[in-house]
Structure 1
Amino acid sequence: MALLAISVFLAYYFHAVLMLGTVFSHFFYIPIILTALWWEKRSILVAAFLGGLIVVSTLLYMPDLLTLNDYGRALMFIVIAFVVSSLSEQIKGREREVKRQRDLMQRYLDVAGVLFVVIGTDRTIRLINRHGCELLGYREEELLGKDWFDTVVPEALREARRRVFDEAIARKAALPEQREKPVVTRSGDELILAWQDTVFTGDDGRPVGLIGSGADITDRIQAEEALRESHDEANLYLDIMTHDINNANAVALGYADLLAETLSGREREMVQRLRAGVDRSIEIIQNVTTIRRLHSEETAVKPVDLDAIVRAEIAHHPGARITYEERPIRVMADDLLSEVFANLIGNAEKFGDPEVEIAVRVEERNDLVEVEVEDTGPGVDDAVKPGLFTRFSRGTSSRSGKGLGLYITRMLVERYGGQVWVDDRVPGRPECGAAFRFTLLRCDRPWESSRPPAPATGRVVTARP
């Protein structure tokens, strides 16, 4: 209204007082453009009023100077008002659409169960969702425009995190993997977030900011730490128990051997049963130790000398009839592979009679190595075979153990990427002995044996003639 009043005064002053038809009407574009930006199409009325003001003022005070130029100028006012108002409508429409999309995105982010934040290239918070505000203990207006690092990053980590942020903006790419990042809440509590972010750019390709998301994993980290401490404490107790039981078993075995040498008859038999019980205790401790190592990170798969492992295990059974043809082959396994042979050869020796014969064979089959441990013992019934390698599965023999040995064997073989199963040594005749077979992945790396190579024809290792 002030600009229109000025326009009326200028028209009167130049026409009535100065009697001039100058270009003062150029001032009229200012109210026309402003009203077009503010009121859109209603600005055409203002333009029509100002155009009419030019014509009427000229007719009243300077009718002899009225020309087509004055009518054209009045028409130009209306054209300018129409064009500017149309552009204003488009701009406001786009602004409304952007606002609608922003509000929609904000609603999406608000229902998310994790923190979402947009950090500008100037390190300030441009947008943050409701969960992020609740997590950090702030209201949205308290965070918007604040420096992210000064506000929520622990003081000791601020400089390092700023450098990482600046590097990500400079190379237009953030680290792709998820990281654990601590943040500080308004109350001073420190939370750990599973953090992931990405840099986004504008239409010109320049970085606009960084979008980050973080899930609160503080409770999980604390629970894992407590579990780790409990695990370490339990392992300490197991180590102490295993050490003390092994010492007690060693003493018991020593005395049992001394008694066996001095006694005879039924007394000697009782001592041998005592010794068998101690051996069983040693086996249990060994199984527990094996399972613990199997579930630890110490058992990383690597190339191992299969031939050396087989020969070493045969040497632990000097009283058994074991035949084995040496084969210099390396497989993917670890130090626990010897437990597989210890269980299979030990079972064949334990469940067979004193004259049981055991054969270990190794065959290469493409990328696999198939190992067989056969015996002439009582064999395995067909009804028992399907569940023989499951936990606590026992055979039908009165001397069957607790079912852990073959379970450990299966766990180890499967860990190495192989399979294990049991067949009859003579197909269709279980009473003629069992044939335990398993596969391992062959290692194709160059052979580097630590011992002199075996003769080309192969050599048969026999534990007892």
Structure 2
Amino acid sequence: MKVLISDEKLKITFIILLLVVSCLLTYYFQIILHITIIYSHFFYIPIVLSSLWWKKRGLIVSVFLVGIIIFLPLVFEENALIRLDNIIRGIFIILIAILLSILSIHISKSNELTKAYNKLEFYKFLFMHDVNNLFQNVLSAADLYSVYQKNESKKEELDHLLDIIRMQAIRGGLLVSNTLKLYEIENTEVPLEKIEVLTVLREAVSFTYKSCQSKAIDIEIDSEYEKLFILANNLLLDIFENILFNAVKYNNSNIVKISVKLSKTQEDHTDYIKLEFLDNGIGISDDLKKNIFNQGFTGQKHSKGMGIGLSLVKKIIQNYNGKISVENRVLGDYKEGSNFIVEIPEIN
């Protein structure tokens, strides 16, 4: 919000500066040099910019400039008359401003339609791809279960199949929940409040242990601080759960090891809480790192993908004025696991 306000103030300041220059040009050419045909090409700069930035409201700038062209001589010259050429020039300026405003409105609507279409395509892909994978996994596990349950020696395999079905059910629940939360973030303003980070992190760790009982998991929290506060909301829990769940899901080690390190950093005079989620999973190649937080990205055409988990995480963190990145856990070797780094501004 602050960035938007700052940008708007900058635009207004720039247009005012251009209008001042326009007034000076008009005064110099018409009043001092007495040139009836003034150098008015400069006027089109504020006209074009205001029309593109503010659409119909930008016409105010054009009306002001036309007033300057027509009426400034009347103020500074005795017995001055309204000149026909200035009136014609003013009419052309207004017409051009109207056309630019209409064009800007159409461009804006076109961009909105494109964004809406892209969102529709994303959600369509999401449910065709991820939901289909969920059902296929559950059906395959159920079919094998019906075969193995007749054989008493297959008890271990049966337990494994039940774990698969349980994990797919959890994944389906997360997919639906994440989709609703992504929609909420994109269409409403979610209020922020003072939240203690370690409390939420421990809750996410507890959820991960309960949700992934079929795997041997070791999650360690490394923090020299007892309490750390940020401006966030209940979606902070989703950030931690998504990252931890992916660390377990994309991990082929006998024991899933996750270390969460908390520290403090400073950048551009802002204090940040830094959380590093280091895992011993399959890792992420450098090519995939570039797009892994993009909406709808799955890595490979036929991969199971990460749904909207990481794109949701990124959107939530940006809503907190924070940032997220991913590095190799071991420098130079992505196959040794990943390090997801989350930085969110600290409050006292």
* TM-score (normalised: structure 1): 0.40
| Change beyond 3 A, Cα 1:295–1:347 | same
> What residue is the counterpart of 1:337 in the other structure?
236
Structure-1 separation of matches of 2:202 and 2:192: 21
CA RMSD of aligned residues (A): 4.2
1:431-452 Cα shifts (integer Å, max 9, x gaps): 32211112111224xxxxxxxx
AA aligned to 1:421 is S
Q: Give the secondary-structure state (helix, strand or coil) at the position aligned to 2:262.
A: strand
Amino acid at match of 1:307: L
Cα pair 1:388 1:395 within 8 Å, conserved: yes
The answer for the alignment partner of 2:176 in structure 1 is 285
Q: Deviations over 1:260-301 (max 9, x none)?
A: 9xx673555544443333333212212211211211333244
Rounded to whole Å, the distance in 1 between the matches of 2:173 and 2:319 is 25
Give the corresponding residue for 1:110: 91
Q: 2:334 aligns with which of 430, 438, 458?
A: 430
Q: Which stretch of the first structure deviates more once superposed, 105-114 or 386-395?
A: 105-114
1:99 is paired with a residue of what secondary structure? coil
Q: 1:110-143: per-residue Cα shift (whole Å, max 9, x none)?
A: 34558x9xxxxxxxxxxxxxx9xxxxxxxxxxxx
Q: What amino acid is aligned across from residue 81 of structure 2 in structure 1?
A: V
1:414, distance to aligned residue in structure 2 (A): 2.8
Other-structure match for 1:418? 322
Tell whether the 8 Å contact from 2:175 to 2:307 is kept in structure 1 after alignment: no
State the one-letter code of the partner of 1:110: I
Q: Distance in 1 between matches of 2:258 and 2:242?
A: 13
Cα distance per residue 1:394-449 (max 9 Å; x no partner): 357x98424421222222223322322212222223332211112111224xxxxx
Aligned with 2:255: secondary structure? coil
Letter in 2 for 1:98: L
Whole-Å separation in 2 of the counterparts to 1:272 and 1:328: 36
Note the 1:188-267 alignment, pairs <5 A: 265=154
Partner of 2:234, secondary structure, is coil
Once residues 196 and 278 of structure 2 are traced to their aligned partners in structure 1, the CA distance between those partners, rounded to angstroms, is: 21
Would you say the 8 A contact 1:327–1:362 is kept in 2?
no
Paired residue for 1:385?
289
Residues 327, 428 of structure 1: CA spacing in aligned structure 2 closer, same or farther, 3 A cutoff? farther
> Which amino acid in structure 1 is aligned with residue 218 of structure 2?
R
Letter in 2 for 1:381: S
Partner amino acid for 1:340?
A: I
Question: 3-state SS of the aligned residue for 1:393?
Answer: coil
2:338 corresponds to which letter in structure 1? A
Q: 1:317 aligns with which of 199, 208, 221?
A: 208
Instruction: Provide closer, same or farther for how the CA distance between residues 300 and 283 of structure 1 changes in structure 2, counting only shifts above 3 A.
Output: same
Aligned to 1:21: none
- Tell me, in whole angstroms, the C-alpha distance in 1 between the residues paired with 2:298 and 2:306: 6
Measure, in 2, the Cα distance between the counterparts of 1:275 and 1:282. 11
| Contact 2:208 2:241 (8 Å CA) reproduced | no
- Rounded to whole Å, the distance in 1 between the matches of 2:246 and 2:238 is 12
Counterparts in 2 of 1:288 and 1:113: CA distance versus 1, 3 Å? farther
1:330 is displaced (CA, Å) by 1.4
2:73 corresponds to which residue?
none
For residue 298 of structure 1, what is the aligned residue in structure 2?
189
Q: Secondary structure at the match of 1:357?
A: strand
Tell me if structure 2 keeps the 8 A contact 1:321–1:358: yes
Contact 2:258 2:280 in 1 (8 A): yes
The residue aligned with 2:343 is 439
Give the Cα separation in 2 of the matches to 1:383 and 1:298. 33
Change (3 A) 1:284 1:403: closer
CA distance in 2, matches of 1:323, 1:331: 21
Tell me the distance in 2 between the aligned counterparts of 1:331 and 1:432.
31
* Structure of larger gyration radius: 1
Within the alignment, does 1:349 sit opposite 2:330 as a pair? no
What are the Cα deviations for residues 304-358 of structure 1, in whole angstroms up to 9, with x where unaligned?
Answer: 3222221221221235421113541112333322222111101011122452111
Give the distance between the partners of 1:393 and 1:420, measured in 2 at CA: 16
In 2, Cα distance between the equivalents of 1:315 and 1:303? 22
Gaps of 5+ in 1: 1-92, 117-130, 132-214, 235-244, 445-465
Asked if the contact 1:331–1:442 (Cα under 8 Å) also holds between the matched residues in 2, the reply is: yes
Q: Which amino acid aligns with 1:388?
A: I
Aligned positions of 1:134-153 closer than 5 A: none
* Residue aligned with 1:98, SS: coil
Q: What's the CA shift for 1:388?
A: 2.1
Secondary structure in 1 matching 2:189: coil
8 Å Cα contact 1:299-1:335 kept in structure 2:
no
